[in-house]
């Protein structure tokens, strides 16, 4: 069972907003007039970046009346991208307090504080009323959460009847040993990678029917190639780079970025 403290320790990002502002100012951006597009290389913590966020959002038929929940929102990059593109309210929740602190500053820097609010807390015990959200997304978070039944039950609880939920996680799609580090885990103790079937079974038991399943490997290929091209060459004798290691697992067919769309009964 992965531990919340170990996960927060791994992700902690003290001073993240300042580091992003410094990097963007060096590139010549006015840090008081940012946009989700300018921030995207710094605040979208999943394979495929902002393009993947928009692909996920497009599966949910969003309109400005919808209130969207982003489960495991990180520093709020996906939440801001969705709010700006669809002019809807987005609420995010994440276990890593530093990300919430940084994300709240980034909301203001984008002029999105009225549409996006970010909260510190666990996906397994969310401080929201039942039926509070019309739509929910979860991008690259389930790989840290062992208890998929509890995760799906909590997502189902906060959705309205008929509400849609899109999960975009890296999932096990083939046999073979999973080795570390990977982007979400330095070792197996904070990793909870599962098969699409495990997600679907947990979701169905929580009252979420699966509508769609998509293998995102092809869509991610250009992103993965770009990220690897920007990294220094591997050093012999050193541990593998976590992103290169993920790319190798995807290439060998053990892991795949996978999208699942669910609808709550009702």
Ligand X SMILES: C[S@@+](CC[C@H](N)C(=O)[O-])C[C@H]1O[C@@H](n2cnc3c(N)ncnc32)[C@H](O)[C@@H]1O
Note whether 11 binds ligand X by CB under 6 A.
Answer: yes
Instruction: Annotate each residue in 98-137 with x if it binds ligand X (CB under 6 A) or - if it does not, as one string.
Output: -x----------------------xxx-------------
The DSSP code for 124 is: T
Q: In whole angstroms, how close is the CB of 56 to ligand X at the nearest point?
A: 10
Q: Are 235 and 156 in contact (CB under 8 A)?
A: no
Least Å distance, CB 173 to ligand X, is 19
Whole-number minimum distance, CB 266 to ligand X, in Å?
A: 25
Query: Does 144 help bind ligand X (rule: CB under 6 A)?
Result: yes
CB of 145 vs ligand X, minimal distance in Å = 5
49 in contact with ligand X (CB under 6 A): no
From residue 64 to residue 103, what is the string marking binding to ligand X with x (rule CB under 6 A)? --------xxx--xx---------------xxx--x----
Write the CB contacts of 222 (distance below 8 Å, at least 6 apart in sequence). Answer: none
Q: CA 87, 44, 181: angle at the middle one, nearest 5?
A: 155
Min separation Cβ 237 and ligand X, Å: 28
Piece of the chain touching ligand X by CB under 6 A; list 19-27, 42-50, 111-119, 254-262: 42-50
Query: Under rule CB under 6 A, how many of the chain's residues touch ligand X?
Result: 24
Residue 249 makes CB contacts below 8 A (sequence gap 6+) with 176, 178, 179, 182, 255
> Crossing angle for the helix pair 36-43 and 97-109, nearest 10 degrees?
160
Please state whether the peptide bond connecting residue 181 to the residue before it is cis, i.e. omega within 30 degrees of 0.
yes
SS3 (DSSP) at 41:
helix
Is there binding between residue 259 and ligand X (CB under 6 A)? no
Q: How many residues does the chain have?
A: 266
Number of CB atoms found within 10 A of residue 71's CB: 26
- The footprint of ligand X (CB under 6 A) covers 4, 7, 11, 44-46, 72-74, 77-78, 94-96, 99, 122-124, 139-141, 144-145, 184
């Amino acid at each position: 069972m992965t531990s919340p403290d170990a996960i927060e320790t791994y992700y902690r990002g003290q001073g993240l907003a300042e580091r992003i502002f410094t990097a963007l100012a060096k590139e010549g951006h006015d840090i008081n007039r940012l946009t989700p597009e300018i921030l995207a290389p710094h605040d979208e913590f999943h394979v495929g970046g902002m393009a993947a966020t928009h692909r996920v959002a497009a599966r949910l038929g969003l309109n400005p009346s919808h209130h969207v929940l982003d489960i495991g929102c990180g520093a709020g990059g996906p939440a801001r991208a969705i709010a700006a593109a669809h002019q809807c309210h987005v609420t995010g929740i994440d276990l890593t307090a530093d990300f919430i602190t940084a994300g709240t500053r980034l909301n203001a820097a984008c002029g999105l504080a009225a549409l996006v609010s970010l909260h510190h807390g666990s996906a397994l015990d969310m401080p929201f009323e039942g039926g509070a959200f019309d739509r929910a997304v979860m991008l690259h978070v389930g790989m840290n959460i062992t208890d998929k039944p509890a995760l799906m039950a909590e997502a189902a609880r906060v959705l309205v009847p008929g509400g849609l939920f899109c999960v975009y996680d890296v999932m096990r799609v083939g046999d073979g040993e999973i080795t570390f580090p990977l982007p979400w885990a330095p070792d197996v103790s904070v990793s909870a990678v599962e098969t699409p079937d495990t997600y679907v079974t947990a979701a169905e038991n929580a009252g979420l029917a699966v509508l769609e399943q998509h293998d995102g490997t092809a869509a991610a290929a250009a992103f993965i190639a770009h990220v690897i091209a920007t990294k220094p060459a591997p050093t012999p004798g050193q541990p593998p780079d976590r992103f290169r290691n993920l790319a190798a697992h995807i290439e060998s067919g053990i892991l795949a970025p996978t999208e699942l769309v669910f609808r709550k009964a009702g």
